[in-house]
Copies of this chain bind each other. A is one copy, B any other.
Amino acid sequence: MKRSKKILFQEFIARKGLKSTRQRGTVLESFLSSDNHMSTEDLYLKVREKNPNIGYATVYRTLKLFAEAGIAREIHFGDGQTRYEHVAEGEHHDHLICTRCGAVTEFENETIERLQSEIAGQFGFVVEKHKLELYGICPKCRK
């Protein structure tokens, strides 16, 4: 059974000698209960609904911790804002982004993944991570 994100984060906090604070708890709850691919600002607004005293800097800092702890991942869709997505352990996916409405669809394709390492190998590279994003018009926006 996989440990919950809350526990994973607690473990991370302990391992690093950091402290468990009310603010971090609030940001984590907001993040866990939010849609995927939320921008930092959107998360900040959600956090403020629970506790209007939490500052912007704290949200920025905490989201970075989530990424470091492996429960979130930063993504950049080229709109100038960092977004965060939920990380399901052992899973990976890529993105289809509608250039009109911004809708994001996730997909995975084993063949593409395999080809990627193959290609990298041909150049003597060892792939650490990759980014595959398909931009286009979604079915809804097309009609």
Contacts and interface: CB of A to CB of B under 8 A. Distances in A.
Contact of A96 (B78, B125, B136, B142): B125
- For chain A, the bracket of interface size reads 20 to 34
Nearest to A142: B126
Interface stretch (A8-16, A34-42, A84-92, A115-123): A115-123
Interface of A: 76, 78, 96, 98-99, 105, 107, 109, 111-112, 115-116, 119-120, 123-139, 142
Taken together, the copies of this chain in the complex come to 2
Given A76-B76, A130-B132, A131-B131, A139 B119 contact: no
A130 B119 CA distance: 18
Contacts of A133: 130-132
A7 B120 CA distance: 36
B109 A119 contact: yes
